[in-house]
């Protein structure tokens, strides 16, 4: 099993995946970020598929076609999103249907999208959490593979709550990826 981790940020999710000795063969980044050095320090090949266009007219499909070709050239079997900032298009989702995993800082189906932590705080919920799911073309809509609640404490700021969610995510995500690898290798349906 050859995994590609797609990253854009500080690399904390990537570090958690690497620490669990998952078979990450490639790290793809869409911008200059700390994940590059984390991958290189671990001896993992890095592909910089840089996104230079952030306009509304960004050609997501062309970007995704190139990304799919890159993944196939590296014989990738499974994609794990590790804080990747670009929503990938149809080509990648078709080429890796059911084999793209993502983590989300809320208990899906609640609080979908980019502002899940802020949305949970604004809604006044007492519990939010982390979800690991299969990524689909429809953002935050795929099969839920694992979830764990996180209590919202009185006076929580976005950063405080998000850090507690990330602590759960760094444990739950690698464990779920390991389970998915086993299910795929054994021809079992994802659950």
Q: What is the mean pLDDT of each run of 10 residues along the chain (191 residues)?
A: 96 96 98 97 97 92 97 98 94 97 97 96 98 96 97 97 97 98 96 91
Number of folded domains that form the chain: 2
Give Cβ neighbours of residue 106 (< 8 Å, ≥ 6 apart).
112, 116, 117, 119, 120, 128, 129, 130, 131
pTM of the model: 0.95
Does a structural domain hold residue 183? no
Residues in the chain: 191
Place of tokens 């054994």: 186
DSSP letter at 191?
Answer: -
pLDDT at 37: 97
Does a structural domain hold residue 49? yes
93 an active-site residue?
A: no
Domain ranges, residue 129:
103-172
pLDDT at 168: 98
Among the candidates 97, 132, 161, a domain finishes at 97
83 and 120 assigned to the same domain:
no
Q: Contact, 140 vs 87, CB < 8 A?
A: no
Among the candidates 97, 131, 146, a domain finishes at 97
108 and 134 assigned to the same domain:
yes
5 and 29 assigned to the same domain:
yes
> Exposed (0-12), middle (13-18) or buried (19+): which is 32, by Cβ within 10 Å?
exposed
Does a structural domain hold residue 190? no
Outline where the chain has alpha helix (H): 12-19, 34-41, 60-73, 90-95, 116-123, 158-185
Does a structural domain hold residue 127? yes
Does a structural domain hold residue 147? yes
44 and 121 assigned to the same domain:
no
Catalytic entry in 49, 93, 104, 133 = 104
The CATH number that applies at residue 45 is 3.40.50.170
> Exposed (0-12), middle (13-18) or buried (19+): which is 186, by Cβ within 10 Å?
exposed
83 and 142 assigned to the same domain:
no
pLDDT at 108: 98
Backbone angles phi, psi at 99, to 5 degrees: -125, 30
Euclidean distance between CA atoms 5 and 27, whole angstroms: 5
157 and 93 assigned to the same domain:
no
Among the candidates 67, 97, 127, a domain finishes at 97
């Amino acid at each position: 099993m050859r995994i590609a981790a797609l990253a854009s940020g500080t690399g904390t999710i990537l570090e958690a995946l690497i620490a669990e000795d998952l078979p990450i063969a490639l790290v793809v980044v869409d911008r200059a970020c700390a994940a590059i050095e984390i991958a290189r320090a671990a001896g993992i090949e890095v592909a910089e598929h840089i996104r230079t266009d952030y306009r509304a007219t960004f050609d997501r499909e062309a970007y995704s076609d190139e990304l799919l070709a890159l993944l196939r050239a590296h014989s990738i079997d499974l994609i794990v999103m590790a804080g990747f900032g670009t929503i990938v298009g149809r080509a990648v989702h078709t080429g890796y249907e059911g084999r793209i995993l993502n983590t989300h800082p809320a208990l899906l189906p609640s609080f979908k999208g980019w502002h899940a932590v802020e949305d949970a705080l604004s809604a006044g919920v007492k519990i939010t959490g982390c979800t690991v799911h299969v990524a689909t073309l429809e953002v935050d809509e795929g099969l839920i593979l694992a979830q764990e609640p996180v209590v919202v404490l009185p006076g929580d700021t976005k950063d405080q709550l998000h850090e507690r969610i990330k602590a759960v995510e760094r444990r739950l995500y690698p464990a779920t990826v390991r389970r998915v690898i086993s299910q795929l290798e054994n021809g079992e349906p994802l659950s």
